């Protein structure tokens, strides 16, 4: 673990705040961010209905799955997919890759495939709260020795490298091993998606309303959005999620908070329209996901996805937090031009997650790429039309409360959730049955000050670069 290798031939070594200095005109860095965790969650929910109408077609699209070190061989598939809810909690890592060989050269070329998006989704054992942690691509962390995908041996461990170098060392498996070491959590499920997958899945959803506080113009991605709310899908949705030069301070950290605007709106949208009740929409979404994602062997099963989706159906949006892994910029040595972990704050965050405890975010937590809709001068309805419905019928218990919180234009404080007495979600899934309704808000959840992020029920708008 003492090998700090010079990887300048493959990784960007730009000075400044977490930027890729090698990027050329029309050749931006990627960040397919939180559409990934949100769409993955929606795809899982959708699989419950899809399994009943096209399980074999979806299964055929899945392929063999990726073997992950430390995970047992998957059980043999057979029979009809289960229709019960997943028992206990789980952790799922969603990885967005840049320069995937299948995407062609339309988005520029690099000399290596990088895991530029890394989102760890945790769902509590009682299914009352969830946290999605975005790990900055330039966060410096140890990279463990990983089995090579071709079975030819193990890569050497490295003491301090940007996390987006893990894919080049051993694909999805190495990213999982790295995230497990960084967070101390057991990642039971994992998936990777490229640009094409994001486009196809956003098309299947039918678009997401996104609020921007000022006009956004990004010549690198071709994004051109007016002030106010625009409904994005396909190439335009991808451009928004990739945009770094157009939002915040022009850094990847600003882009992460901007992407949380998209993701929170995505989740509100699918609970307020017919996405969760339309077999045709769910089928398109599941096919798009299965055809454009690499799944771990543990996740590469329709029955497992159905069970996980049913567990997520009852999750109230005000109990879903999107947060950024805490870190600072401006460091020296191996941290120059990169992101240095804030270990004390990270320890607080992952202690809460491991204990299945809900938490609230401090004031002004939205980060440098987004702001509250009210601060942006947007009405709640114009910031997100989906909020006006207050949660759609059939979206699951707690959706109405989440919609009401969103309509109020402010985040609702998550209810305190006692940890499962059987096992924390970081270990093997517990056998406790999920609650059939959202828990009563009795004791306010503890606030973790210093984290950047928002709840899924919170109305926010992206801020333009330099504003």
> 58 falls in which pLDDT band (50, 70, 90)?
low
- Higher-scoring residue by pLDDT: 20, 337: 337
- The residues that bridge with 460 in the sheet, in sequence order, are 372
Residues 363-414: tens digit of each pLDDT: 889 989 999 988 877 765 555 555 443 332 222 222 222 232 222 233 333 3
Which residues contact residue 143 at a Cβ distance below 8 angstroms, ignoring those fewer than 6 apart?
A: 157, 158, 161, 163, 165, 166, 169, 174, 178
- Higher-scoring residue by pLDDT: 10, 82: 82
Residue 21 within any structural domain of the chain: no
Smallest CA-to-CA distance from 406 within 392, 387, 389, 381 is with 387
Per-residue DSSP letters for 273-295? SSGGG-HHHHHHHHHHHHHHEEE
Residue 433 within any structural domain of the chain: no
Q: Which of 123-127, 213-217, 292-296 holds the top average pLDDT?
A: 213-217
> 102 falls in which pLDDT band (50, 70, 90)?
low
Q: Which of 80-84, 147-151, 157-161 holds the top average pLDDT?
A: 157-161
Q: What's the confidence (pLDDT) of residue 12? A: 41
Residue 191 within any structural domain of the chain: yes
- Higher-scoring residue by pLDDT: 308, 223: 223
Smallest CA-to-CA distance from 264 within 458, 59, 66 is with 458
Residue 8 within any structural domain of the chain: no
Return d(Cα 111, Cα 99) in angstroms, integer: 8
Q: What's the confidence (pLDDT) of residue 53? A: 43
For the chain, what is the domain count? Answer: 1
Q: Helix 195-205 vs helix 234-242: angle between axes, to the nearest 10 degrees?
A: 120
Residues 194-245: tens digit of each pLDDT: 788 888 888 888 899 999 999 999 999 999 999 999 999 999 999 999 899 9
Report yes or no: 296 and 104 within 8 Å, Cβ to Cβ: no
Residue 25 within any structural domain of the chain: no
| Residue 331 burial (10 A CB sphere; 0-12, 13-18, 19+) | middle
Residue 107 within any structural domain of the chain: yes
Return d(Cα 450, Cα 440) in angstroms, integer: 27
Whether the per-residue pLDDT at 345 is higher than 90: the answer is yes
Return d(Cα 353, Cα 417) in angstroms, integer: 11
Least confident among 126-130, 278-282, 438-442: 438-442
Residues 319-328: tens digit of each pLDDT: 999 999 999 9
Whether the per-residue pLDDT at 333 is higher than 80: the answer is yes
Least confident among 15-24, 232-241, 251-260: 15-24
> Per residue in 201-217, is it b (16+ CB within 10 Å) or e — as a string?
bbbbbbbbbbbbbbebe
Distances from the Cα of 52 to the Cα of 33, 118, 297, angstroms: 30, 31, 22
Return d(Cα 402, Cα 316) in angstroms, integer: 6
**Residue 82: count of CB within 10 angstroms of its CB:** 16
Q: What's the confidence (pLDDT) of residue 84? A: 64
- Higher-scoring residue by pLDDT: 34, 355: 355
Q: What is the CATH number of the domain that holds 308?
A: 3.40.630.190
Least confident among 91-105, 111-125, 429-443: 429-443
> Per residue in 37-53, is it b (16+ CB within 10 Å) or e — as a string?
bbbbbbbbbbbbbbbee
Summarize the confidence of residues 273-286 as an average pLDDT: 68
> 464 falls in which pLDDT band (50, 70, 90)?
very high
Q: What's the confidence (pLDDT) of residue 50? A: 42
Residue 60 within any structural domain of the chain: yes
> Per residue in 151-173, is it b (16+ CB within 10 Å) or e — as a string?
eeeebebbebbbbbbbbbbbbbb
The CA angle 51-54-58, to the nearest 5 degrees, is: 85
> 31 falls in which pLDDT band (50, 70, 90)?
very low
Report yes or no: 244 and 224 within 8 Å, Cβ to Cβ: no
- Residue 41 gets which letter from DSSP? H
Whether the per-residue pLDDT at 419 is higher than 60: the answer is no
Q: What's the confidence (pLDDT) of residue 276? A: 60
Whether the per-residue pLDDT at 110 is higher than 80: the answer is no
Q: What's the confidence (pLDDT) of residue 405? A: 27
Whether the per-residue pLDDT at 315 is higher than 50: the answer is yes
Side by side, the strands of the sheet bearing 460-462 are 228-232, 208-212, 460-462, 370-372
Q: What is the torsional sign of CA 165, 171, 175, 177? A: negative
Q: What's the confidence (pLDDT) of residue 445? A: 85
Which residues contact residue 158 at a Cβ distance below 8 angstroms, ignoring those fewer than 6 apart?
A: 1, 3, 4, 5, 142, 143
Quote the domain boundaries for residue 355: 35-428+442-462
> Per residue in 386-409, is it b (16+ CB within 10 Å) or e — as a string?
bbebbbbeebbebbbbbbebbbeb
Whether the per-residue pLDDT at 246 is higher than 70: the answer is yes
Average pLDDT taken over every residue of the chain: 75
Q: What's the confidence (pLDDT) of residue 111? A: 67
Helix spans in 17-105 (H):
35-62
Residue with tokens 């606030």: 447
Q: What's the confidence (pLDDT) of residue 103? A: 56
Residue 125 within any structural domain of the chain: yes
Return d(Cα 336, Cα 347) in angstroms, integer: 23
Smallest CA-to-CA distance from 458 within 325, 296, 262 is with 262
0.85 surpassed by pTM: no
């Amino acid at each position: 673990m003492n090998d700090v290798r010079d990887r300048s031939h493959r990784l960007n070594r730009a000075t400044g705040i977490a930027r890729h200095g090698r990027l050329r005109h029309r050749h931006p860095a990627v960040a397919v961010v939180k559409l990934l965790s949100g769409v993955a969650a929606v795809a899982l929910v959708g699989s419950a209905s899809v399994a009943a109408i096209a399980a074999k077609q979806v299964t055929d699209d899945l392929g063999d799955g990726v073997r992950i070190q430390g995970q047992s061989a998957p059980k043999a598939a057979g029979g009809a997919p289960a229709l019960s809810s997943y028992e206990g909690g789980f952790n799922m890592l969603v990885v967005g890759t840049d320069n995937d060989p299948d995407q062609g050269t339309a988005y520029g070329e690099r000399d290596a495939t990088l895991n530029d998006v890394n989102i760890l989704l945790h769902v509590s054992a009682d299914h009352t709260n969830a946290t999605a942690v975005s790990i900055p691509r330039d966060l410096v962390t140890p990279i463990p020795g990983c089995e090579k995908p071709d079975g030819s041996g193990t890569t050497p461990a490295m003491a301090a490298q940007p996390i987006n170098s893990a894919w080049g060392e051993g694909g999805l498996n190495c990213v999982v091993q790295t995230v497990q070491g960084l967070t101390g959590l057991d990642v039971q499920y994992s998936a990777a998606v490229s640009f094409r997958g994001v486009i196809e899945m956003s098309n299947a959803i039918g678009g997401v309303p996104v609020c921007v506080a000022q006009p956004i113009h990004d010549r690198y991605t071709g994004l051109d959005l007016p002030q106010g709310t625009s409904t994005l899908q396909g190439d335009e949705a991808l451009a928004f999620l990739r945009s770094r030069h157009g939002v915040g301070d022009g850094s990847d950290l600003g882009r992460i908070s901007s992407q949380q605007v998209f993701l929170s709106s995505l989740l509100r949208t699918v609970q307020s329209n017919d996405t969760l009740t339309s077999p045709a929409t769910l089928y398109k979404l599941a096919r798009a996901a299965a055809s454009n994602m690499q799944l771990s062997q543990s996740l590469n099963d329709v029955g497992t996805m159905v069970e996980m989706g049913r567990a997520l159906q009852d999750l109230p949006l005000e109990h879903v937090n999107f947060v950024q892994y805490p870190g600072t910029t401006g460091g020296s040595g191996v941290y120059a031009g990169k992101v240095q972990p804030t270990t004390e704050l990270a320890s607080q965050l992952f202690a809460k997650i491991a204990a299945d405890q809900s938490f609230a975010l401090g004031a002004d937590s939205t980060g440098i790429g987004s702001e509250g809709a009210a601060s942006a001068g947007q009405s709640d309805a114009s910031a997100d039309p989906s909020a006006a419905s207050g949660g759609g019928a059939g979206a699951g218990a707690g959706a109405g409360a989440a919609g009401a919180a969103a309509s109020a234009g402010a985040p609702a404080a998550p209810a305190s959730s006692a940890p499962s007495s059987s096992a924390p979600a970081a270990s093997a899934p517990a056998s406790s049955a999920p609650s059939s309704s959202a828990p009563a808000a009795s004791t306010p959840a503890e606030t973790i000050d210093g984290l950047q992020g928002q709840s899924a029920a919170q109305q926010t708008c992206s801020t333009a670069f330099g504003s």
